[in-house]
Amino acid sequence: MHFLSASKLAAAVAAVAALLAPAAAASALPATHIDLTLQDDGTLTDVAVDGRPIAAAAPAAQQPIVSRQRHAVSLPPARAAVTFPGDGEKQADSIFSGITTFASLPYQQCFSDKSVTYDIAILGLPFDTATSYRPGARFGPSGIRQGSKRLVLYGGYNVPLEVNPFTNWATIVDCGDVAVTSYDNALAIRQMEQGHKSLLHRTPAAASVLPEDSLSAKFPRLISLGGDHTVVLPILRSIASAYGPVSVIHFDSHIDTWKPTVFGGEKSDQAAYNHGTYFYHASKEGLIKSGASIHAGIRTTLSGPSDYDNDALCGFQIVEAREIDEIGTKGIAKRIREVVGDNLVYLSIDIDSLDPAFAPATGTPETGGWSTRELRSILRDLEGLRFVGADIVEVAPAYDTNAELTTMAAADLIFEILGLMVKHPLA
């Protein structure tokens, strides 16, 4: 299931306006919402006003139904004028004021108030005590929120994706951070898994208006703000409790599948769980679809070729950063799509997949990476994949410039992910 382009939707809404015009002229239809059932070619099959079916706008045709949408509508006497939320309304109004949440989204106390519902939630995981070089990613969630303030400065409409994720069908909230200890890594990992799982296993806000067999009607989707990359292990454990093993798209300069004996794990049992080994453990625990997962942006040094051999045993394929010079952003996206296919997908983005010129504030920077524009383009070319969740990790604001380059880049990547998720509910 997907949402129609702006041009197709505009045509559909125009048809609804024509359909409702007679009733509007008689002032018999004080409507507040219209519900549209649309086919892939933009043809309307059913129309309801405030939940009341009023007409079949067109006979059932050969095209499959791909979208059911709700839009606000104003119907003064003698005409039907449909408005799109936010379009042409006042913007740029004091976005620098107030309590900082991601993109000025409503803050909800999701952990203490079980009645809070949402379709997509922002979740902070302020953990960085399993990093190997520069610490500081515990401040990543707050830094990314700070970098996101300007996302709604002009309204939040994503021009390339033709969607405004903030004024669409999905209820999006900021649930704050999981309370993570900095003294005991084993406990912290359990806290993050339990926190993520408690938000994942909740009835979505739009469950009643989405098709009953839609996964988006069963589980909300969470976008996590790291935190060092170790946070993905408890996230994948939580994801598996809802979906089972999933394909993983991993943007990073490092493979993060090292054997613990190679990467820091010989010190103790707990040292074996760190930001360079979490995918090794996730693979051993059966959380990842083997052979249908992929790293992209890799450019790290290795202990030797055996690291790549071990990576393959963990179920990953690799696109190295330098390959963009030969195949471009379209080629990178094509390779990723070929690997994950129609599987459910978890998306993990280490900010160090970007070159330090664009994102210096990270724990283990590597030169020779992609630009912000290139990575955003690749993400948009993944439109239609079945994303069950996502994260941005390894943002360490203490190393950023005064212009907040890294936190803004991280926020912009989340903005693209929100667009992909809102435009394509999980069928």
Q: Determine the Cα–Cα distance for residues 84 and 203; give it in Å rounded to an integer.
A: 27
Q: Where are the alpha helices (DSSP H) in 251-301?
A: 278-284
Work out the pLDDT band at 97, boundaries 50, 70, 90: confident
Radius of gyration of the chain (CA): 23
More confident residue, 78 or 374: 374
Confidence of residue 54 (pLDDT cuts 50, 70, 90): low
Contacts of 242 (CB under 8 A, 6+ apart): 200, 201, 218, 219, 388
Determine the pLDDT at residue 50. 53
Please, which pLDDT band fits residue 381 given cuts at 50, 70 and 90?
very high
- Does 25 have pLDDT greater than 70? no
The average pLDDT across 141-164 equals 94
Measured in degrees and rounded to the nearest 5, phi and psi for residue 353 equal: -65, -25
> Quick one: average pLDDT of 64-84?
46
| Cα distance between residue 285 and residue 245, in whole Å | 10
- Place 44 in a pLDDT band, splitting at 50, 70 and 90: low
| Residue 49 per-residue DSSP state | E
pLDDT for res 205: 96
Contacts of range 182-190, beta carbons closer than 8 Å, 24 or more positions apart: 182/127, 182/129, 182/138, 185/129, 185/130, 185/230, 185/270, 185/273, 186/270, 186/273, 188/127, 188/129, 189/230, 189/233, 189/234, 189/273, 190/234
The pLDDT, as a whole number, for residue 178 is: 98
Rounded CA separation 183/127 (Å)? 10
User: For the segment 245-294, what is each residue's pLDDT rounded down to a tens digit?
Assistant: 999 999 999 999 999 999 988 789 899 999 999 999 999 999 999 999 99
Residue 137 pLDDT more than 50?
A: yes
Question: For residues 30 and 69, which has the higher predicted lDDT (pLDDT)?
Answer: 69
Those residues whose C-beta lies under 8 Å from the C-beta of residue 53, and which sit 6 or more positions away, are: 46, 47
**Residue 89's pLDDT band (cuts 50, 70, 90):** confident
Taking each helix axis from N to C terminus, what angle separates 405-423 and 140-147, rounded to the nearest 10 degrees?
80
Whether the pLDDT of residue 189 is over 50: the answer is yes
Binned at pLDDT 50, 70 and 90, residue 297 comes out as: very high
Overall average pLDDT of the 343-359 stretch: 98
Residue 178's nearest CA partner among 123, 105, 139, 247 is 123
- Residue 64 contacts by C-beta under 8 Å, 6 or more apart in sequence? 39, 40
Question: Residue with structure tokens 């669409």?
Answer: 168
**Pairing mode, if any, of strands 386-393 and 344-350?**
parallel
pLDDT at residue 147 above 50?
Answer: yes
Does residue 368 carry a pLDDT above 70? yes
Q: What is the pTM of this model?
A: 0.81
Neighbouring C-alpha atoms within 13 Å toward the C-beta of 146 = 15
The strand pair at 221-226 and 316-320 is best described as unpaired
CA-CA-CA-CA dihedral for 362, 365, 368, 369, to nearest 10: -30
Sheet holding 33-39, edge to edge: 52-55, 44-49, 33-39, 65-74, 81-82
Query: Residue 205 is encoded by which pair of tokens?
Result: 């806000």
